Structure 1
């Protein structure tokens, strides 16, 4: 299940990737223990994960950076890939300029640079041993890559969040840099690539450097009112149609230990409340029961009403009194890649020994949406209710996006099973079907409705008159 970031994985189709060759030494108890220890370290969840091969084959482009490479994987393991991609090459220079801009936010850039370098060097052994265990890369090179990329990310977050300060040291043309900023931030490729599973660096490194920058930043500044998770997730809140209160859920003291930026995005997008009927300890290795779910058109024909959920996160669906409330989803050029990588990370980081916390939220969401939106008519319904905001050029691409992502995936813990069961029970209930039939046949338009109401009133008055006649006759 979990595919670690290691030389033992498949090459994902890149011709130039050198696979690690195994030489089988004589097996003894010590070698078995070493192998077990290595696998145990990989299973702790801190290894930088690889996209499972089965998912990667469906759509390699969804997991491959096109605009910016973060971390050592694509640069060190696949140098030819970097040379083939002019955009990735060009961004290497921009990243260093962003790093310079970050350092020039501080009172003494040279001192701040050395403190940032020391902050990375102090944890380089942890990075090599726990995060990049099987990558053949020197500590010096890894430290340099992580330092530049972490500073680049911090400047992106600060600039996007509108954090300002007095720049005491400016060595480059401000006007030209502002143009570069606008061009880079206008590109959806930046946001897309920063959320790729194989394009990450450990989040704790970002935290260490953020502390250094905040301590050295030139005054006056408004940085004190922000936490790193908040300004990092703010870059992606438009992808989740997210409101202010949701991306302010974490504080500097309350947020969990995120593995990397994609883990942060995943955590913030999780349901805000747990379904009460979901079992607290789902059994391990048990496939979800087959759940029947009609598409949006058939549900509408069965009398189920769709509504856009209010201030809710993507996974906060609910069904009450015949109304299915679904949070809005923006479908743009980043959506398929973002959801694919969230599902790949969820799949790779799943710990079978901790089934209670191994929920397949995004896989469940895609499984459900793939069934709800299976035809253009379903997309029409969802768009008319404001549930799907389609920013794609082609409508066929929009409604097929859920199918494209969820191919070749076996769902073991369907989060929305109870919700789907209640919707199906409502559709099949005798009372609901009777009322639905009444509306279809006799209440289709105002005139037939008035006729039915008038006939019903006349029938009631006739019945009352009959009762009075019988009563008066019996009293004689």
Structure 2
């Protein structure tokens, strides 16, 4: 087996394209057996599609040799995929970096560095493994459904190349057309075949796929597919999926499969459109606000700034008698917040391992694409005001407003406080609520009543003791008054003193 590793590894190091007859079973790393199944023929589709190798570098004859440059013209209609602004990335670069799967032109330059960097960073070895796995998937569908489906998919991509390129907020001219089309083909086929195998009964090769042998790999792929820079236009994927579904025995649409995979099938309206997976996750949250198109349109208008400048933290608001209530126990994605009659209704915030990655990418999308209706950013800023210390987290956990799966309460406080670093907020959807909360806190009457409740009626025993003490005090006072009255009446009935001689 050791001898079989040499040719493939040498090919990878030299950047040689994998040929039709080359074995893939000897690749180093934990993916070695998953690259191709024992019964899978070594199909020639990869060669026919002229798929570039994992180490292909941009050709010097490309229209531009520099990635990351803005396009000469901006397509407001199609543009929806952005590179995360540096003011956000520098706070936590890992939150925007794929763990193992590279998708789309914004990540394409990383493939040229993968081989060298894999010597010191195992993540780049995963990048290379996934590039080979994409080719395996292309081979699989060609073997199962025939070469024509690959040709049809490539023709769609060629037809839509201009639209695909204009979906990105930076120029992709540095990638030549042939290389660009091959990259989109590989990425699209991988996404489609991954979801089809995971969410339908079309498990023709699933048992031979290492991605589904190790559940953590499939979970990691789903997490990577939410990252803003790791996107393909959903309209393209939906169009390509029709070629697949002509050969599948399922009543599900690709949309059904996607919603089920991301566990949002019951949380989104059928008519709701989205541009890519990051946009899908954001729209599911925004839809909980129940806003009409007219309301959203007005929110985009340039009104005077209504950002929240100050808001007391949860501990102080609690001291002023504000009650915290989980507004929607069934939907942890809700953004609905309300304050009425001293009760702050707020959705439950679940703090877990992947919370920060998801929120940061949703917020980055809003900063770039929805600056006037950045409702997720507004929600996080509001939460940031409520949480200053671990005492605030502890209070909100007790009230059921936060579920802490990170361990220490301080971890949640630090995460929330860092989420807003680098944000630029134009207006807040929760401005009026913050104003009412501040007015409630500023009322001396509210603070006095809250202090009375907190000190003398904080629990059953303290409240009982307080009531008993008040009753005893009242009885004592009544007894004292009665004694004084009795003495006074006795003095009035006594005979007058005799006159002095």
* Bucket of the pairwise TM-score, normalised by the shorter protein: 0.7 to 0.9
Decide whether aligned partners of structure 1 residues 410 and 434 sit closer, same or farther in structure 2, where only a CA change above 3 A counts: same
CA 1:418–1:274 in 2, change beyond 3 Å: closer, same or farther?
farther
What is the alpha-carbon distance in structure 2 between the residues aligned to residue 274 and residue 156 of structure 1? 33
* Correspondence for 1:425 among 410, 434, 439: 439
Task: Classify the secondary structure of the residue corresponding to 2:79.
Answer: coil
Q: Aligned residue for 2:383?
A: 369
Distance 1:19 1:65, change over 3 A: same
The residue aligned with 2:284 is: 268
In the other structure, the counterpart of 2:129 is 90
C-alpha displacement at 1:181, in angstroms? Answer: 0.8
- The secondary structure found in structure 1 opposite 2:373 is coil
Question: Is residue 73 of structure 1 aligned with residue 110 of structure 2?
Answer: no
What's 1:348 paired with?
368
2:129 counterpart SS class: helix
TM-score scaled by length of structure 1: 0.73
Name the residue aligned to 1:215: 246
Matched, 1:303 2:321: yes
Q: Distance in 2 between matches of 1:69 and 1:201?
A: 11
Partner of 1:64: 97
Q: Mind listing any 5+ residue stretches in structure 1 that lack a counterpart?
A: 1-16, 23-34, 352-357, 466-476
CA RMSD, Structure 1 to Structure 2 (Å): 3.6
Deviations 1:146-184 (A, max 9, x none): 122122222333344x3224x6xx5x5x5442x531415
- Superimposed CA distance per residue, residues 192-232 of structure 1 (whole angstroms, 9 cap, x where no aligned partner): 32111111111111110222222221x3x3xx2x4434432
Q: Deviations over 1:83-105 (max 9, x none)?
A: 5211111112223344555667x
Deviates more, 1:277-286 or 1:111-120: 277-286
Inter-partner Cα distance in structure 1 for 2:139 and 2:413: 43
Shift of 1:69: 0.4
- Residue 186 of structure 2 is aligned to residue 148 of structure 1: yes
Q: How does 1:310-349 map to 2 (within 5 A)?
A: 310=328, 311-312=330-331, 313-349=333-369
Q: How many angstroms apart in 2 are the aligned matches of 1:152 and 1:193? A: 13
Query: Which of 156, 159, 167 is residue 119 of structure 1 equivalent to?
Result: 156
Equivalence map 1:388-399=2 (5 Å): 388-392=402-406, 395-399=409-413
CA contact (8 A) 1:119 1:209 kept: yes
Which stretch of the first structure deviates more once superposed, 314-323 or 42-51?
42-51
User: Of the two structures, which has the highest relative contact order with CA contacts closer than 8 Å and spacing of 6 or more?
Assistant: 1
Q: List per-residue Cα deviations over 1:123-157 (Å, max 9, x = no partner).
A: 12332355464431122221221122122222333
Instruction: Return the match for 2:176 from 127, 138, 142.
Output: 138
The 5 Å alignment of 1:104-253 reads: 108-128=145-165, 131=168, 133-160=171-198, 162-165=199-202, 170=204, 175-177=207-209, 180-183=211-214, 185=216, 188-217=219-248, 219=249, 221=250, 224=251, 226-237=252-263, 245-246=266-267, 249-251=268-270
Compared with structure 1, are the counterparts of its residues 441 and 93 closer, same or farther at alpha carbon in structure 2 (3 Å cutoff)? same
How far apart, in 2, do the equivalents of 1:448 and 1:185 lie? 55
Tell me the secondary structure at the aligned position of residue 300 of structure 1: helix
**Matches of 1:320 and 1:196, distance apart in 2:** 37
SS of structure 2 residue aligned to 1:420: helix
Q: Is the 8 A contact 1:74 1:81 kept in 2?
A: no
Question: Deviation digits for residues 228-280 of structure 1, max 9, x if unmatched?
Answer: 3443243334xxxx6x531xx233xx232x32211111111214235799993
Residue range with higher mean Cα deviation, 431-440 or 125-134: 125-134
Q: Secondary structure at the match of 1:389?
A: strand
Tell me: CA distance 1:348–1:360, structure 2 relative to 1, closer, same or farther (3 Å): same
TM-score (norm 2): 0.70
Contact 1:71 1:146 in 2 (8 A): yes
Contact 1:315–1:365 under 8 Å retained in 2: yes
1:414 aligns with 2:432: no
Q: Does 1:280 align with 2:298?
A: yes
The answer to whether the Cα contact below 8 Å between 1:66 and 1:193 also exists between their aligned partners in 2 is yes
Which of the pair has more CA radius of gyration? 2
| Secondary structure, counterpart of 1:58 in structure 2 | coil
| Alignment length (residue pairs) | 403
CA contact (8 A) 1:55 1:344 kept: yes
Going from structure 1 to structure 2, the CA distance change for 1:142 and 1:292 (only over 3 Å counts) comes to: same
1:12-36 Cα distance to aligned partner (Å, 9 max, x none): xxxxx964799xxxxxxxxxxxx9x
Distance 2:303 2:423 in 1: 14
Secondary structure of the structure 1 residue equivalent to 2:311 = coil
* Secondary structure in structure 1 of the residue aligned to 2:101: coil
C-alpha distance in 1, partners of 2:68/2:382?
A: 42
- 2:120 match: none
